[in-house]
Structure 1
C-alpha cells in the first residue's frame, strides 16, 4: 500500500494512462479525484471501479486549458476528499499533422492543452499543497518526444519538452515547501492519442521493431513508475525524469 490514505488528483483520468494510473493508485490505498473532458462514461465507470476497490473517488469535468477549471478541480476535489497529497498532470492531445501547412488553431490548441494546461493545473495544485503545509508530490506525464523530434509532431514535441522543463523549475520553486516534482517520459503507448496512427500495420510493426523489449507500451506500464515517483520510495527524488519506453530511446541502430 504505497499510497495508503493519500489523495491523488489526476487530469485526463477517464481513459488511457490516466485511467490506468487512477485505478492502480486506488489499489495502493489512495482516494482519487479525476479531471476529464467529454468522456462521461469513462470517467464515471472509473469512479465506480475505484469505489469497488474500497476507496473514495470523484470525477470533475473541465477543460485544462482554462485557468478557472484548474482552480475549480482543486477546490472541489479537496472539498470532497479532504486534502490534495499527490497531483498527476496527465491530460494531453496530439493531433498528428504535417509542419508546413499546420493550421494555427491546431498549434494553439495543442499548446493550450498540453503546456498551458499543465502550468495552470500544477500551479493550482501546488498552492493547495502549500496551504496544507505538509508537502506533496507532483508527477507530470511528459514524453520521449521531449527528447526527440517527430515529422508530424512539430506542435506536440515542444509542449512535452516544456512539461519536462516545468517540472525541473517547479522542483526548485517548491522544494522549500516539501513538494517534489518529477516527470515520466513514455515512449509509444497504445492509447486513443495514437490509435489512428498505429492502425497502419506496417507503421506498427516498424515501431515494435525499434523497441528492445519487443512490444508497444500499455497504459498500465506507466502506472507503476508514476506511483513510485508519487510515493515515499522516491522521497529524495525531485526534478528528475524517468523514461518509460521499453528501451526505444537508446536503440540507435
Structure 2
C-alpha cells in the first residue's frame, strides 16, 4: 500500500487521467485531481477515491497558467501533504494540416502540452528535492515518435517537446532522488477520441487501428494507468529519463512505412 504517497494527477476528470487517479487511490495514495472544465466529472472521481478509502482533493485550473499551478500545488500540499507523485496528464488535441493550420490554436495546445508540464514540475519539485524523493510521469503520445495518423503533425510536435523535456528534467532532478519518465499511449478508447464520431465512424476507426496493432485491439485507459503505476512505484527508483510506449505494438510509424 502507498499510504504515505501523495499524488497530483492533472486532467484527472476523465479518460486516462481518471483511470490513473483511481488506480493510485486503489494503491492507497492520496490524490489531488485537477480539471479545467469538467467540475462535476472531477467531483465524481474524488467521490470514488474517497469510497476506496483514500483522501481526495479536486482543484480547477488551467495548467498553462503558471500562477494557478503554483497555487494548486501549495493547496494540495497543505491539505494532503508533500507531493511525492506528479502525473502530467492534462493535454489538448488540436488537429490540422498545413492548409488548415491556425497559429493561435496551435500555440494554446503547446502552452498546455509543453508549458503546462514545465509549470507543474517547477511547482512540485521544491518539496520533492527537500525530501530527496519524487516520481514524475509525463503523458506524451506515440505521435511524438512518428505515427501516421492524418492531421496530427502539430499535436505530435507538442508531444515531442514533452518527450525531450522529460529527459532533460530527469538530468536536472536525478541527483535529488527524483525520477522523471514518460508514457506514450497509442490509440485509447476515451470520450475524447469517441466524442466527435458517430457509432459507424467509430467502428471504422477502431477497425483501422486494430489492423495496425500487433495485439489486435485499441487501448483502454486502464492499460495506460497500469504503466503509470509501474513508473510511480517506490520500487522504480533506478529508472529515469525513459519513455515507455504503450500502444499494443503499432505498426504504422513513419520510420517503418
Check whether TM > 0.5.
Answer: yes
Alignment of 1:141 with 2:154, yes or no, is no
* Cα shift readout 1:162-184 (whole Å, capped 9, x = no counterpart): 11111100110001111000000
Which is worse superposed, 92-101 or 219-228? 92-101
1:94–1:193 contact (8 Å) kept in structure 2: no
Question: TM (normalized to structure 2)?
Answer: 0.93
Residue in structure 2 matching 1:211, options 210, 213, 217: 213
Residue of structure 1 equivalent to 2:93: 94
SS for the counterpart of 1:49 is: helix
Q: Distance in 2 between matches of 1:129 and 1:249?
A: 38
Question: TM (normalized to structure 1)?
Answer: 0.94
Alignment of 1:11 with 2:4, yes or no, is no
Q: Distance in 2 between matches of 1:243 and 1:70?
A: 27
1:86–1:138 contact (8 Å) kept in structure 2: yes
Residue in structure 1 matching 2:204, options 189, 202, 205: 202
- The CA deviation at 1:4 is 3.3
Residue of structure 2 equivalent to 1:30: 29
- The CA deviation at 1:56 is 0.3
The number of residues matched between the two structures is 251
Which runs of at least 4 in structure 1 moved beyond 4 Å after TM superposition? 196-199, 249-253
- Listed as ranges, the gaps of 5+ residues in structure 2 are none
* Cα shift readout 1:12-41 (whole Å, capped 9, x = no counterpart): 000011110000010011000011111011
Residue of structure 2 equivalent to 1:21: 20
2:214–2:251 contact (8 Å) kept in structure 1: no
Alignment of 1:1-253 (within 5 A): 1=1, 3-130=2-129, 132-149=130-147, 150-196=149-195, 199=198, 200=201, 201-249=203-251, 252=256
- Listed as ranges, the gaps of 5+ residues in structure 1 are none
State the superposition RMSD in angstroms: 1.6
